[in-house]
Amino acid sequence: MNTTKSVYNKLFKEETQLASHEVNLALVDDIEKDVLANGKSADKARPSIRNAADELRKAYEDFSNIKKRNESIIKNSNVFKAKIKELGIEPTDQFQKNIIADLYVDKNIDAKLQAISTALSSLKNTGEI
């Protein structure tokens, strides 16, 4: 025979299970919305990542060219400094003074190239390029 207490317990158990199912369904809906939103955001981001990689490759090429010319500037500046010292003369204009002071030498060119290379590697590791 069913007592009031046993009927209540049975109803409470079924109600709890129903509420649990509703919560689970709501969570699934939330997850699905977030997954779809992430997919759309990733679709928008991919072209930007590819463009960034292309721009970094161009920058790397430009800085590689700068490095080659920088090496020539260093070599020629050293010859100029040695000749001016050998002749015992002073630089005649600001440009020559800047050569003596190594103002036209990019001392950070290797660090710049390394930073670009690291950035490109990081983008490749994302699997988006």
* pTM attached to this predicted model: 0.69
Please choose, from the candidates 39, 43, 105, 95, the residue with its C-alpha nearest in 3D space to the C-alpha of residue 71: 105
Q: What is the mean pLDDT of residues 95-124?
A: 96
Residues 15 and 23 sit within 8 Å (Cβ to Cβ): no
pLDDT band at residue 4 using 50, 70 and 90 as cut-offs: low
CA dist 99 and 97 (Å) reads 5
CA dist 46 and 123 (Å) reads 11
The domain ranges of the chain are 4-125
Can you give the pLDDT at residue 24? 73
CA dist 63 and 119 (Å) reads 14
pLDDT at position 60 over 90:
yes
